[in-house]
Chains A and B, each alone.
Chain A
Amino acid sequence: MQMQLGIGAIFAALFLILYAIPNWVSSPSNVRNIVLSPLFWPYILGGLTGLTGLALLLTGRQRLGSGDPVNEPIDDPRQGVLRLTAIAGLMVATFWVMPWLGMVWTSMLAFVALAFLVRTRHPVTAFVCAIVVPLVLYAFFAHVASVAIPQGELVRLP
């Protein structure tokens, strides 16, 4: 695992130094001194990432197989991956639907979806909570804290 990390860090550093920083960080042409350039600090960070990666690789080789912390195994890895994909999809959907549907209704749907995704043992409670929690939060944030909670295009709450 440490080896993977090390290799990953080295690739990330190379990507940063060779592609990301030159392309995505802009620097004016009239920079007086290299240490003042907007590029200076990102390059240092890129270099340090590479060094850390190398160090991880070296120490990882020394104690291959031993000393690596182990993750707790789960019974159904295949379904686990499916559930992870589902929750990722849920987050993407929540983010894109929210401006259109409004935060309250989106949160209700997200609540129900997540509760059933993790196979809750209290479906009725989950359902009630899914309706009550976003409404209570809305009441609090919108009317006590006076935050403009996004209302969406369809149904407005008072």
Chain B
Amino acid sequence: MKLRHLGALCAMGLGLAAAPVLAEYPERPINMVIPYGAGGATDISARTIAEPLGTAVGRPLVMSNITGAGGATGSVVVQNAKPDGYTMLFARVGSHTVSPAMKATLPYTLDDYRFVTVYEINPVACAVRPDSGIESMEELVSLTESEGTSYSSSGVGSMLHLAAVFVLDEFGVKDPLEKATHIPQNGGGAAATAVLNGTATFLCTNTSALASFVANGQLKPLMVTTDEPVPGFDAPSASSLGKSELTQLVGWTGIAGPDDLPDDVATKWGEWIAEAAGNEKFVEQMTARGSVIEVMSPEEANDFIQTQYETFRALVDKLGMRIEG
């Protein structure tokens, strides 16, 4: 009885295994790893592009949130995956430029990935409470110099952490690590709340995360890190303040595979993403949240990420922010 069942099972297994092996990529659903939790910027971005991208790929894309350790847990899964193009990663500024620049103990480096695209850029804005009496970046800087301020972030080694330090450093605050206290929170939502309830003086984060607070008059933006002003944000751009170096400080979302991903797979992704990002509905939904849709080819993406990483790394080394333990 038992044996016969087992036999049947094996036969069934063989039948399935005998399916065509040499079909063209992709022949089955592709597993897309999102290294951050549901509801966050990466998750929303990934799930919005999933629909047009799935149409372009012609196979289902299976979205898997693998959260933990500021994006490291999910990133490691893709680092160790087979480079067959069936496990790809939604890489984000936090997991792939800030963390590698700041954390010596990170289990991966940029070289472990092959980026096939960066498709979305989010400007960064710095904001305070409207009743804080701080009206401009200069006032924030002088308050930091005289009394000291504090800023919230979504955790150590997150983009928010580095962004605040970067901005203060660019505005000439000497020793920003001593003058401004970092108050880490658990996640981006909590970071904004910390400024709202007065736990921290300011925060610098993606405009998409701040948009509703700014629209409601709960937070006042002081600056956006772009060349041009951002609609809905009544604040000067970094370029108009003469700090064009700060335009390096932007959030982005891209797609990456393990580093030995074959060329033909990378090329295919380049084509798919160009097609998907042209989708009108997708562009409309993303721009409504303050993102700029800008599709980069694999080479452009690699350059962009490498440049941002080096900028961040230089700052981290200059200020001695690297986490060794």
List residues of chain A with CB under 8 Å of any chain B CB: 26-28, 38, 105, 108, 124, 127, 131, 146-148, 154-157
Contacts and interface: CB of A to CB of B under 8 A. Distances in A.
Closest 9 CB pairs of A and B: A26-B325, A148-B31, A155-B13, A148-B62, A148-B64, A155-B16, A155-B17, A146-B62, A28-B325
A108 B6 CA distance: 11
Interface in B93-134: none
Contacts, number: 33
Nearest to B61: A146
Given A28-B325, A131-B9, A157 B2 contact: no
B324 interface: yes
Contact of B325 (A27, A148, A154): A27
14 contacts: A26-B325, A28-B324, A28-B325, A108-B9, A131-B5, A146-B60, A146-B63, A147-B64, A148-B31, A148-B62, A148-B64, A154-B13, A154-B17, A155-B17
Question: How would you classify the secondary structure of chain B's contact residues: helix, strand, loop or mixed?
Answer: mixed
Contacts of B64: 147-148
Interface size grouping (class) on chain B: 10 to 19
Nearest to B178: A32
Contacts of A131: 5, 9
B215 interface: no
Nearest to A158: B16
Nearest to A38: B325
A35 B315 CA distance: 28
Interface in B1-32: 1-2, 5, 9, 13, 16-17, 19, 28-29, 31
